[in-house]
Amino acid sequence: MTQPSKNGENAVDMLAVARIAQGVDIAGFAGPDAVKLVAPAKVNLFLDIGAKRADGYHEAVSIMHALMLHDVLRMKLAPGRGEGLSVDLSCVAREGLAMLDVPVESNIVAKAVRLLAEKLERTADETVVACLEKHIPAEAGLGGGSSDAAAALLGAAHLWGVPADDPRIEEAARSLGADVAFFLHGGCACFTGVGDAFDHALAPMNGNVVLVKPEGGVSTAAAYRAFDEHPTANSEADREAALEAQRAADVPLRNNLVPVSEHLLPALVDIRLWASERVDVQRVLMSGSGSAVFMQCATFADAGRVAAEARMRAGGRVLPCSARRVRPWCRTAEISAARCIREI
């Protein structure tokens, strides 16, 4: 915290102070026994939810594309507590996001670590220490929790000396949620089944998007309940075009959850109409079940202008600043071929 200054007095290490204030002990995750992972966000270029199956899940065709926007997960092993596997997880909110109010055992990162240990039949007395930096907002349809889970699976596998291509990792991913497996692949990919079965990869595209999340969110469960009551369908022509597309740029932007999510959160209608009228927005679509809307722009300058005006529409406040009440959130992001990766 202090270091000698030029005049011999002890000076305060302001960078260390800032890191402690932010709740991230970087030094605690340094060295060869720790791992840092990047967990990217995603948008759905195409989402076609089908009929509800007997097991309660819905048939789905989902084409997802990774973004440069990402969470950061740091992990390391520590001695056990005499009770088998323990997970010591701390979370830090960035981008002005609200703090996560979820018990450790209920957090999907802890669930992922425990599930993989179960799949591997690992019974060692040890503690997995993890720190999650959240940059991706919740209830946005951007896959933040799913990506964090995929990163946790890869991080735990690395700490335990398990190859990243071990089939038990993807098996665990599919058990955790429909989108989790995508983040093991990254880039742009089509998933079928209930949205958890890899079908094929598409050539990703480079570009700029603006992400706008209105105040409030849409829970996935609420969106699917509303969909079951008032189902809508994408056209068969769009579905065939999406399944046949080999490039992300050729995928028709469609999402048949939009009507129900817009009914649950009317602010989504205003955002869509506002974006649709702009000449600097090429295409616009809500991602997943919402509530984030992404706007594809031709240039970075266009994206910056759209983001600036979206901020003005939100009363000049872009990032959430309350621990409980999330204000409108907006930022630019790059479409990328990212996946959950371990930083070297």
SS3 content of the chain, % helix, strand, coil (to 5): 30, 30, 35
At residue 4, the pLDDT reads 46
**Phi and psi of 77, rounded to 5°?**
-100, 145
> In whole angstroms, what is the distance from residue 333 CA to residue 140 CA?
15
Catalytic residue among 42, 76, 111, 213: 42
Q: How many domains does the chain have?
A: 1
Print pLDDT tens along the chain (344 aa).
Answer: 444 444 444 444 444 434 444 455 666 777 778 899 999 999 999 999 998 999 888 999 999 999 999 999 999 999 999 999 999 999 888 877 776 677 778 899 999 999 999 999 999 999 999 999 999 988 899 999 999 999 999 999 999 999 999 999 999 999 999 899 999 998 999 999 999 999 999 999 988 899 999 888 888 899 999 999 999 999 999 999 999 999 999 999 999 999 999 999 999 999 999 999 999 999 999 999 989 999 999 998 999 999 988 888 864 333 322 222 233 455 656 665 556 555 54
Pairing of strands 126-134, 10-12: unpaired
User: What local confidence, expressed as pLDDT, does residue 130 receive?
Assistant: 95
CA of 194: how far to CAs of 45, 186, 224, 286, in Å? 16, 18, 13, 19
Task: Identify whether 213 is a catalytic site residue.
Answer: no
Question: Kindly report the CA angle at 135 between 17 and 100, in degrees rounded to 5?
Answer: 85
Q: Annotated catalytic residue: which of 179, 196, 213, 302?
A: 179
Is there a domain that residue 3 lies in?
A: no
Quick one: tokens of 3?
């270091």
In a domain, 7, yes or no: no
Residue 15 in any domain: the answer is no
Q: Is residue 195 part of a domain?
A: yes
Establish if 4 belongs to a structural domain. no
CA distance 177 to 227: 19
Instruction: State the residue range of the domain holding 194.
Output: 24-343
Say what the pTM is: 0.84
In a domain, 109, yes or no: yes
- pLDDT computed for residue 19 by the predictor: 44
pLDDT at 333: 63
Judge whether 119 counts as a catalytic residue: no
Is 98 domain-assigned? yes
Q: What's the full length of the chain, in residues?
A: 344
